Structure 1
Amino acid sequence: MGGLDLRELECFLVLGEELHFGRTAQRLYVSQGRVSQLVRALERRIGGRLFERTSRRVRPTPLGERLLAELRPGYDAVHAAVDSARAAARGVEGTLRLGFLAGTGHGELVDAIRTFQRRHTGSEVVLTEVPLADPFGDLRRGEIDAAVVMLPVAEPDLVVGPSFSRQPQTLAVSARHPLARRASVTAEDLAACPMLDIGGSAPGYWREISAPATTPGGRAIPRGPAVRTMQEALTTIAADRGGMLFCAPTARSQNRPDVVFVPVTGLPDSVLGLVWHRERETARLRAFGRALAEGA
């Protein structure tokens, strides 16, 4: 590679996808400072700036856009060659047990399953729904090979693979709730609606995705009853006992006259990701992750 550092190239490509130093660091399992260090090192090798950085956004320079376009095919070809060798040595054929949260089995995920099974005709994806209250339990018990869950995931024994389906958030409330008559609500309006808690063993930071304790401005959000599954949540919401945040595709997949999904402004988009146990990575799993990343 003529003195090039593959880690620098990988960091450059991931930052080119995420356009965010924090998310890039999370995907690469390094600090944000290390991401900045790797990008600066590559810029010194190239002899020009590859990204414009401000306090509000990151975007490629014209030079960075050109390098991204020219580098990605070669980088993907290297990974494809390695995956092909691993498949030959370890075998991709067989069953991939894939868990998913209710409402996430659509769009890019379905396309990735079709692509994976078309490429690897001896493989099959078996789907299993994982509960809101215990999103990582099946992975840790070895009952599934990977799971599609909401991000972020910050579990030391789990690997976060490709992310996809970045979508606006919506507030699910009873059709009788005052906010149901609004065309949209702001994040600060959430203080007027108790948020259903996700019970069970889901970590606190992960429960905050669907049921934040405070608004971005620091106002306390009342806590509603605890639920363990999607259907429990929707039924409790329909009974006007609280609300919950859902991504837009999940909202579109639900068809209940007693529950209204209201768009929310002022919150980060929801993101889905593929996660698996650090000690159980296989060629089959990597092949599926690549199919998912290509369609994201």
Structure 2
Amino acid sequence: MSNPEIRELEAFLALAEELHFGRAGERLYLSQSRISQLLRALESRIGGRLVDRTSRRVRLTPLGEQLHAGLRPAFDAIVTTIGEVRDAARGLGGVFRVGFQGTANDAFLRAVAAFRDAHPKCAAEIAEIPLSDPFGAVHRGEVDAAVVLTPVRDDALVVGPVFSTRPLTLAVSDRHPYARRDGVDAEELADGPLIGVAGAAPEYWRLAQAPVVTPGGRAIPSGPAVSSLQEGLALVRTGRGAMLLCHPTADYYGSHAVVFVPVTGLPDSSLALVWHRHHETARTRGFARALADVAEVTG
């Protein structure tokens, strides 16, 4: 009997932890049918059913539970060992790619500079990642880590330093009635459309950036959904709606045409460094330390 392929094991682990073919596929950026195909191949190699699937639920068989209990720590150990050996062979060199959302604020840029100073043999490259897809570049391996807006609820991602925790601001046109206010209560968001985020971002994350109800339960009208921060600010300028933004972004993009008004009654916004659990390297850990040293870490 041939040995399982690594993709079959990854698919099984994702399914065992999500207990949902769709979510397992999203986690690995594969289709549901591909997850099913990989599972069938693994079951064929093993010679027994690992998962019971009905129209209502997915659950592990006793054989599947046994495989998961033994496979997860072994799989993690293999990935960690390969990463450590690779790092030892290369030293802290090579290329470290880190993404950012919206704006590369001062803390982020100081961390990049500190990392470059501490590790001159490692080329640190930065890249903007779409507002509409905060975690996709990390999952696809396009960047080694990324600074993203919280919250982050993805078991495949490690959440490193959390920083820039500040109250949210509401971006409005300079002609908007709130533009001359010192602040806005969250309940007042129900008075006009709120620009949302389109694309591949998880629903929980999109709702955190553009809630559909106030804390008191009032419905917030939905405005256009955008894929980039620049697109959202352009719609704000033309009066198509307001947009909730973190404070560092407001500081960076302040202009005469857009006014940023502090919002009370909503959870603070924050930024976090994230990376894939199975792709952690010495470079990742080095950049996380650099960021923690220069940023006001809150979590």
Same fold judged by TM-score > 0.5? yes
Distance of 1:111 and 1:177 partners within structure 2:
35
For residues 81-133 of structure 1, the C-alpha deviation after alignment (integer angstroms, 9 at most, x for no partner) is xxx99965552112111110012x11221121111111111112111101111
1:49-70 alpha-carbon deviations (Å, 9 max, x no partner): xxxxxxxxxxxxxxxxxxxxxx
SS in 1 for 2:239: coil
Distance 1:227 1:218 in 2: 24
SS in 1 for 2:131: coil
**For 1:173-228, what per-residue CA distance to the aligned partner results, in whole angstroms no more than 9, with x for missing partners?**
11111111211111111111211120111111111222111111111111001110
Distance (whole Å) between structure 1 residues aligned to residue 145 and residue 153 of structure 2: 15
Equivalent positions of 1:12-27 (< 5 A) are none
Structure 1 counterpart of 2:94, one-letter code: G
| Cα distance change on mapping 1:118 and 1:86 into 2, 3 Å | farther
Alignment partner, residue 168 of structure 1: 167
Structure-2 residue corresponding to 1:102? 102
Q: Which amino acid aligns with 1:248?
A: H
Query: What pairs with 1:235-246 in structure 2 (closer than 5 Å)?
Result: 235-246=234-245
2:92 is matched with 92
Q: Runs of at least 4 residues of structure 1 off by over 6 A?
A: none
2-structure distance, mates of 1:209, 1:113:
28
Partner of 2:251: 252
Which sections of structure 1, spanning at least 5 residues, go unmatched? 1-83
- Residues 1:111 and 2:110 aligned together: yes
Paired position in structure 2 for 1:229: 228
- CA distance in 2 between partners of 1:165 and 1:183 (Å): 21
Please state whether the residue corresponding to 1:173 is helix, strand or coil: strand
Q: For 1:122-141, what aligned pairs fall within 5 Å after superposition?
A: 122-141=121-140
- Which residue matches 1:179? 178
Q: Is the 8 A contact 1:101 1:148 kept in 2?
A: yes
Measure how far apart 1:152 and its partner are: 1.1
Aligned to 1:241, what secondary structure does the other structure show?
coil
2:260 corresponds to 1:261: yes
Identity of aligned residues (%): 54
| CA–CA distance in structure 2, aligned partners of residues 294 and 87 of structure 1 | 22
Q: Could you say what the CA RMSD is over the residues aligned between the two structures, in angstroms?
A: 1.9
Q: Over alpha carbons, which structure has the higher Rg?
A: 2
Residues of 2 paired with 1:128 and 1:289: CA distance?
17
Cα deviations across residues 151-177 of structure 1 (Å, max 9, x unaligned)?
Answer: 111012211111111112100011111
Aligned residue number for residue 286 of structure 1? 285
Aligned AA for 1:286?
R
| 8 Å CA contact retained: 1:131, 1:229 | yes
